[in-house]
Amino acid sequence: MKMIPMFTLPEAAPGGAGGAVAAVAPDVGERQPIPRSKAHRKPSKTPEKSVEGSNKPADVPEWLTDALKMYEEQQATPPRALVKLRQERKPQPAPQPTPPLADLLDLDSLRPARGRGAGGEGAAVLARLLDNLARHVLALRPSLRRKDGRAPRQLVLHLSAEMVAAALGCNEATAWRWTQRLEETGYLQARTHYTTMTTSTGERRTVVDGTLYAVRLEANHRAHLSYQDLNRQYRNLDADRAAGRTAHAAISQARREAVKAENENSVPDEENKMQGSTDLPVSSQRVYLQLKEWAVTPGQFSQNPLNTDPCIFTPEGAAEALNTVRDVVYALPLLGQAHPTKRAPLIGIMAATLARALNDQHSRAWYCRLIWDAWNDETEGRAGLQALAAQLERLDIDRREWTSLRNPAALLAARLRAA
């Protein structure tokens, strides 16, 4: 330590404690430094060691070694076969025959012993009619069968009681009396079905749109109507009335066709006659044909002025007959009666007619898909053809009343998306 020379203090006063005192001052360099924050300093980077040219395993990270090892094992393993996500459909069981009506109902007990109907079949005539209609619907809608191919225990039909009586050649009171007789045996249960409609003043009103018939298809089963059957809506009554699809119109048309057939000395097709109904007048046979279409699609009957059998439809004849949207609406029910080999050409002709009538030639394939989807819904128990016919009928009316409508095809597509 560097020493500073001594200096002499002044003498003290006599008697005082004076003297020479050595004053030592510490070196400035030995003073403690004031601590300062190092937060403002940047951390110094540690130089990385170069691994270039080094092949030592210790230079490779352990996680990378494990990943490379796993990748090599996966490459050495042969690829597994792809799993089919969509399983093949199992073949549907063959439909089993439905028991005959004689096994479902004692027909002899229904014969009246006395009165005006003595000697006749009585209520058995109504049972035969409903049995034929139920089998017709079951043939067109195989999805209603059970998984093992057997027929359901019962089938619910939405029909017009007025048309049923006309098809039987009797009045409505007699048909209703026979209905009650069949209800006593458990073969049948019938109830009036209600829906709502819009009146001319614009108010909604509850009205009758038909009658529900639960028909037995299995022995010892008592037919009954459930709440779902009664609550379900089978018709769009506003659209049916606007299109003229009413029971009164069906009966009137059948009678006109009967008069025309009698004048031409012709008879209805033998295949379309109701079994055991050869004694009925021609008008009743015509109503029965309309009733078969109504049973498949409630409210629908053939209004097509083309009296052509779809089973013998030629593409040339159909193309000449179908020219307007209304013609397609009338021809839609024919899909259920057409032979399977004639159904696809008939749909193609109807799609071409819609594309031509709506000035939408480039969308012919879309119209084909539209009609096919409606037919598929029909086979699965939904009213696909009726819904499509209602939309086409509504569009045809709008085209006549809405003169400024530029693209009716676009309007149809928008309504179908919203439906």
The string of pLDDT tens digits covering residues 371-394 is: 988 888 887 777 788 888 888 888
Q: 362 or 115: whose pLDDT is higher?
A: 362
CA-nearest of 273, 277, 117 to 181 is 117
Contacts of 251 (CB under 8 A, 6+ apart): 162, 163, 166, 287, 290
Burial 95-119 (b: 16+ CB within 10 A, else e): eeebeebeebbebeebeeeeeebee
Q: Could you tell me the two tokens for 264?
A: 């031409």
Q: What is the mean pLDDT of residues 286-301?
A: 86
Please determine, for residue 5, whether its predicted confidence score (pLDDT) is greater than 80: no
Determine the average pLDDT of the residues in 42-46: 57
Mean pLDDT of the 94-104 span: 88
pLDDT reported for residue 211: 94
> What is the rounded average pLDDT of the residues 286-291?
88
In angstroms, the CA 168 to CA 124 distance is: 11
Retrieve residue 105's tokens. 């109902």
Could you tell me which of 382, 313, 379 has the C-alpha nearest to residue 349? 313
Q: 351 phi and psi, to 5 degrees?
A: -65, -40
- Residue of 209, 56, 221 whose CA lies nearest to 152: 221
Q: Is the pLDDT of residue 92 over 70?
A: no
Of the ranges 24-28, 50-54, 89-93, 119-123, which is most confident?
119-123
Average pLDDT along the chain: 76
Mean pLDDT of 16-27: 49
Q: Which pLDDT score, from 0 to 100, does residue 96 have? A: 86
Q: Does the structure show a pLDDT above 50 at 134? A: yes
* Residue 136: predicted pLDDT: 92
Which pLDDT value is given to residue 303? 56
Q: Is 144 a residue whose pLDDT tops 50?
A: yes
